[in-house]
Every structure is written in structure tokens, then in C-alpha cells.
Structure 1
Amino acid sequence: MKRTEEAGAFDASGWITCELAEVPGVEFVSYGVVRPGKHDPGGVPMIRARDIADGVVATSELARINPDVHRQNRRTSLRVDDLLVVLVGRIGDTAVAGPDHSDWNVARSVAVIRFTLAGLAHGIDIWVRWWLGTPRARDLLRVGSAGAEHATLPLADLKQLPVPLPPHHLRERILHTIDLAQRKMTLNTKIAGRATELADAYFSRFAQGHVRDNSHWPRAAAADVAQVIGGAPQAGALDGGLALAWASPREVLNSRTVHLDRTAGITWAPRETACAPGTLLVAPRPGEVRTVVAAIPVVPGRGMLAIRTGSEADQMWMLHELRARSEELVATAQGEQARAMSRRAFSKFHLSWPPEEARERFARIAAPLHARALAALRENHALQELVVSEMTERPTVKR
């Protein structure tokens, strides 16, 4: 086991630190296919960095490689419990290969960490994954990248990442805490999703009930009832600017919930550039337009739109109206494969826009459901902070 200079040896508390590739229980660390060739519609799925978000693999637009290419890269043919690590862009983001990913492959932009059977049995896979998510590990991985959108982490740097390991009895206790936190976080994510689905269902019934009354909601162009703002490219440090959360279109498209409460990137811009929490973020991909709500101040990325409404009732109605009409909104996208929102076309898009009393009546049900979803997500952040503190705060040893 190769110890890092940071550790040198066991410290007084019994912790040691060693390089990731030398952690007991890690079988190997490798990147994926360097020359994948052309997309093969009937080939083997290949996971790219862009396909990993919020701890899961998004399967909507997977690349596929020829089976011969896959056979030439058997080392990264995936097994259940392999840990996938993003090497390009959102450096350090992870996902775990499940049964559905067995015998898939990964691109050069993704590293595979495989564990031995003993490593899996002792929770080394869980320890490494959670350590990669700590601020300390992220800082070490991003050295020299300056938060750039397309920063690349050399595999050697990932292999040499210092990983602290506590004594066995303490690691068992922390792993138990992680297990409890993961279970609660999974439940919270389901709660957030179900709360949104209930609001969607109520919107559908609310709208259909009005149609059954043989009446029609008034219609209005999007720009007449909300402020439509174009996105901006990610920028480096600027004189007089601040580091602000920057949301890419892919983060909107791959968000596991309708509330975007974190971003991987930052941009440097004046404070007034950031959209306030409650702003709707709209991003397209072929055949679909996705709308989410910013739960934090955020600068929208280029290719997407931000929608500011005048009240909570307007926000609730606009959100669910846009979600219900996702396929129709594709016509407001532009560019290659319709991957950018046209501000002009969207501004002219006509929405069902009932009287204020009706919008407020809808919001009285929908808003508390969204508040419950946000509360569940915020609890997940608290649980993550709890685990990070357990993994990083070593006990003080009296001498």
C-alpha cells in the first residue's frame, strides 16, 4: 500500500492516507474507450461524462459502439458495482454501475474504479465514492482546472488522489451512518418526485375540468405574462465580478427532480446577472423541452432560457403549463438538432393563461407540494454534510 506524503504513516488517531489506486480493495482504476468510432445504433452502450448526473446514468441519448470496439476494450466492460468517475467537465461526479449497465462500456471521459470482492464486502466502494464527493477531494481533483466547463482530469491524478482510511472499527461505524443516510436520501428523492407528480396530476385535472365545462382559458404569449431571459456562456474570473452558480442545459435536462438545487459549474459575473430562486429554467433536446425551477440563485447557461414570473401563482401555473406542453415547445428550439431555445420563438409561444383567481386557486394546492419536495431535498443536503463531517473530521488525540 503506497502512502502519500500527506500521511507518511499511521497518525496518532489511527488513520492512514494512501493513494486511490493503492487503497486495499481497489482492483484497478482505468479510463474507457479512446477511439470509439462512429455511432452504431445496434452496438454496445457507451457511457460518456455527459451521461452522468446527480449520481445516476442518464440513458436517453446514449452513444453506442461497434461490438468489435467493445471487445478490444474489455478492461472497462462494466460489472455491477463498478464506480464511474467523470474526468471531463464535472470532474469527480460519480455513478455506480447497476445490473442494467452490465457489459456496457465507458468513454475516455469516464474512469472505472473496480473493487475486489473483499473490497466490496468491507464497504471500500462506498467509502471511496463518498470520499470523492467531499470538498477536500473535489478541491484536489480540480487543481489547475479553474472551474472550466471542459477541464480534464488526467487519470494519473485520480489514481494518486489521497484517500484517508480510519481504523476498522471507526470505518464500520461511519459506514453504518452512510447506510442510514443513503436510505433516507433515497426516500427523500422519492418524496420529492411524488410531490411533483401529484402537482402535475392536479394540474391535468384542473385544466380538464375547465374544458368539460365547455369553456376555454384565455391565451397569452409567454413574453406578455413573464420575463424571458437568454442564457450566457460560462465565463472566467472578471474584474468586479462574483463567482455565481452556473447551470448548463444538460443539468436541467438530467436533473432528477423538478427543483435544481445545485450546479457543478460556476461563472464570474455581476451579482445582478443571477436569477433569483423561483426562476424557471427551460432547456431543449430532440423531441423534448424540459422545465425546472431554480432553488438557488443561478446564471442560466447558453442555449437555455430563464423565465421570471410576477408571483408564486404565476410561477406554479407557468411551470406546469410548460411541463404539460413539452413536446409542443420543441418547435421553439433552434440550431443543430434543436438543442438551443430560441428566445424570440418562445416569447411568442401561446400559453393557456386563466384569470388570476384560477391561477391562485391552483397554486394553493401546488405550492405546498413543491415546498414539501424542496424540504426533502434540503434534508438530503444536511445528510450529505453529516457524512462529510464524519469522514473528514478526525478526533483530537490528547498527548
Structure 2
Amino acid sequence: MIRARDIADGAVGTMDLARITANVHRRNRRTSLRADDLLVVLIGRIGETAVAGPEHHDWNVARSVAVVRFTLAGLNHGIHIWIRWWLGTPSARDLLRVGSAGAEHATLPLADLKQLPVSVPPRHLRERILHTMDLAQRKAALNMKIADRATELADAHFGRFAKGHTRGDVHRSATTVADVGQVIVGSPQAGALDGGQALAWASPREVLNNRTVHLDRTAGITWARGDAACAPGTLLVAPRPGEVRTVAVTLPVVPGRGMLAVRTGSEADRMWLLHELRARSEELVVTAQGEQARAMSRKAFSKFPLSWPPEDVRERFARVAAPLHGRALAALRENRVLQELVVSEMTEQPTNKR
């Protein structure tokens, strides 16, 4: 069963999915999924979308997610693609916020979603824009592969550099996380604060579901003093049963409750620590705590022993890894530009309300 929390950055996360019984599924056949169904978040990050793929056939959804099913004609004319992109435009977001006003937690009633007007241009313009969308989506998919391969190459190089500095080596027993970085505890999301400012806030779920090793945006904000934000390059560490995920942030961000942030003094240290923590994800589970190990223990994590080779080894690795991470980041930045291009194309054309 797909919940609102499982939908992030236009995709359905594959980790830690909920399960329902066959009887519950049979009682909710209307929301039994088919390929190309549009999933829309109704609670929290309202308007966030994903498209069900063949792998989601006959799955179901929670009440926090709406299922928009299209006719064969709608699919043939690309209406499903149009609506998905349109829900990300500023005008659509404004309408969604109006529909959710007054709720303790942002909530969009299903009836309001059904009545939401959609701006649709004349067919000849729509087909041209859909062609642009198709090109953008294909380029974005290629960019994601580039980012993934660049990270895999960096991981492979790390394995080569780490050889000889693994289990049984004196460096591992002598060096801990606290020796090489400043460990910071995450904080809960907060509302308006006197003397504070709105800052990007990263939830553990965003870290766990992030599709790459780089977190370049967040859905949430929190109010805090400016010095509460961790600088770009900080590592965020979040647990779930059986795994601990580590990402590097590319923007100032306040880490959420349940996870930790680690600041290092140099790029060489940051690069080595990032890949060391990634390589030892399963071992790091022992540093998690709480119900189903969903929070990080600062004390246990700080004492976690590392494989930490001499400085010249770490620097040589950074000279190889940093350009690979730079290439991955360039691909992600291009995807943001492509997204903005499509939204601009959609909003600057004459449209009809439907």
C-alpha cells in the first residue's frame, strides 16, 4: 500500500512500504492501481505526484493519496502527462493551498481535488508542449543514470582506496566518528519564532527516500536562528530497520528529529566519511534506537569506529571522488532547470479552464 510519505520527488519509494491484507484490498477495489494512474498526495505535501508503473499493478493506496485514472483517449492525448506537470505549476499550487486552508495539517479534500480547474491550451499548442515534456523527461532520466553511475564509480574507487584499511586494521579501532567530525542532533519542525527565520528543514523520510546521494532540496521549512542551519556539504544520517542512509546536502538545512548531521573540517575528510558510512550502512544499524530503530543515538554513533587511513590517502581519494560527485550534481541541477522549463512553457501559453 502506497502512503503519502512514500511519494517523493515524483516517484514512489521502494523501502519500508506498508502492507495490507487481501481482504482489505478486496474491499477497496476502486483504488486498486493500474499502470499510468496518477497518484496525488492529499495530506502534508499536498499536490506532490507520482505515476504508477507496471510494477505497481494491483497495489493499493492509503486515504492520504488520491488515484486519478484516465480514459484511453486521455492517455492517447497525453492528458495524464499534462495534469501531472500542471499540478506542479505555481497557479495550481496556489489553488491547492486555498483548498487546504484551515486544516491543522495541510489537507486537500478529495472533493476539492475533483473540482480543481485545469488549464489546458488548444490541442496544437498542447501537443507541442507535450513534445517538450517528453524530451525533458527523457533527458532527466538520462541525467539520473549519469548521477547514479558517477556515485557508483566513486563507491568503487573508495573500495580500492579502502583496501588494506578495513577490518582488523589499527586505524579502525583508533578512530571514531567524533574524532573526525562534529555530530549534531536533529530537531523537530517548528512554527514561527520570534527572532528566527524560515529555513529549509529535512525530514528523515526525505533522506531515506532521496534518489541520489545528494539532497538538493527539501519540502519542509522550520523557524529557527540562522546558525541552526547546517552548511552545504554537511552529511545527514537517518536510520530505518536494517539500514542507515547517509546523504550530503547541497543547501543550508536544519536536520529533522530522529537523525544526525555531521560536519567535517575538510573536503577530503567529508568525502572519505561519506563513502565509509555508505559502505557500512548495515553495521551502523547498531547505533539506531527507539521503536523499530527509527532514531539515531548521538552517543553510539559518535563512538562508531571507522576505517581512517592517513591524510595523504584520503586526499588522493578526494581528488578522484570530488569530480565524480561534481558531475552527479551537475546532472541534478540540469534536471531542475528542465523542470522549470516545462513549467514555464505550460504557464505562458493561452489556456482554457476545464
TM over 0.5: yes
SS class of match (2:19): strand
Give the partner amino acid of 1:261.
D
Deviations 1:267-320 (A, max 9, x none): 111111111110000000001000000011111000000110101111100100
Give the counterpart of 1:69 among 19, 24, 27. Answer: 24
Q: Distance in 1 between matches of 2:260 and 2:103?
A: 21
Deviation at residue 149 of structure 1 after TM alignment:
9.7
SS class of match (1:244): strand
Q: Distance in 1 between matches of 2:101 and 2:323?
A: 39
**Residues 363 and 150 (structure 1 numbering): CA distance in 2 closer, same or farther, change over 3 Å?**
farther
Structure 2 gap ranges (5+): none
What residue number does 1:263 align with? 218
Deviation at residue 217 of structure 1 after TM alignment:
3.3
Whether 2:171 is the aligned partner of 1:217: answer yes
Say whether the 8 Å CA contact 2:171–2:306 is kept in structure 1: no
Say whether the 8 Å CA contact 2:8–2:209 is kept in structure 1: yes
Say whether the 8 Å CA contact 2:244–2:285 is kept in structure 1: yes
**Residues 146 and 157 (structure 1 numbering): CA distance in 2 closer, same or farther, change over 3 Å?**
closer
Say whether the 8 Å CA contact 1:49–1:86 is kept in structure 2: yes
Whether 2:233 is the aligned partner of 1:278: answer yes
Q: Distance in 2 between matches of 1:211 and 1:337?
A: 29
Give the counterpart of 1:183 among 133, 138, 161. Answer: 138
Say whether the 8 Å CA contact 1:147–1:266 is kept in structure 2: no
Deviation at residue 236 of structure 1 after TM alignment:
1.1
SS class of match (1:205): helix
Percent of aligned pairs with the same amino acid = 81
Deviation at residue 69 of structure 1 after TM alignment:
1.7
Give the partner amino acid of 2:222.
T
Whether 2:259 is the aligned partner of 1:304: answer yes
**Residues 286 and 147 (structure 1 numbering): CA distance in 2 closer, same or farther, change over 3 Å?**
farther
Say whether the 8 Å CA contact 1:149–1:265 is kept in structure 2: no
* Larger Rg belongs to: 1
Give the partner amino acid of 1:354.
P
Residues matched between the structures, number: 350
Say whether the 8 Å CA contact 1:89–1:149 is kept in structure 2: no
Q: How does 1:27-66 map to 2 (within 5 A)?
A: 46-66=1-21
Deviations 1:139-195 (A, max 9, x none): 322337689994222112222223111111100110000000000000001111110
Deviation at residue 266 of structure 1 after TM alignment:
0.9
Q: Distance in 2 between matches of 1:147 and 1:206?
A: 55
Whether 2:114 is the aligned partner of 1:159: answer yes
SS class of match (1:308): strand
Deviation at residue 89 of structure 1 after TM alignment:
1.7
Deviation at residue 91 of structure 1 after TM alignment:
1.5
SS class of match (2:118): strand
Structure 1 gap ranges (5+): 1-45
Deviation at residue 79 of structure 1 after TM alignment:
0.8
Q: How does 1:334-345 map to 2 (within 5 A)?
A: 334-345=289-300
Give the partner amino acid of 1:322.
L
Question: For the aligned residues, what is the CA RMSD?
Answer: 2.0
Q: Which structure has the higher relative contact order (CA within 8 Å, separation 6+)?
A: 2
Q: How does 1:1-399 map to 2 (within 5 A)?
A: 46-143=1-98, 150-209=105-164, 216-217=170-171, 219-394=174-349
**Residues 259 and 146 (structure 1 numbering): CA distance in 2 closer, same or farther, change over 3 Å?**
farther
Q: Distance in 1 between matches of 2:32 and 2:5?
A: 19
Give the partner amino acid of 1:348.
K
Q: Distance in 2 between matches of 1:176 and 1:282?
A: 40
Deviations 1:210-267 (A, max 9, x none): 569x965353121121000000111111222221111000100000000001111111
Q: Distance in 2 between matches of 1:180 and 1:348?
A: 49
**Residues 243 and 73 (structure 1 numbering): CA distance in 2 closer, same or farther, change over 3 Å?**
same
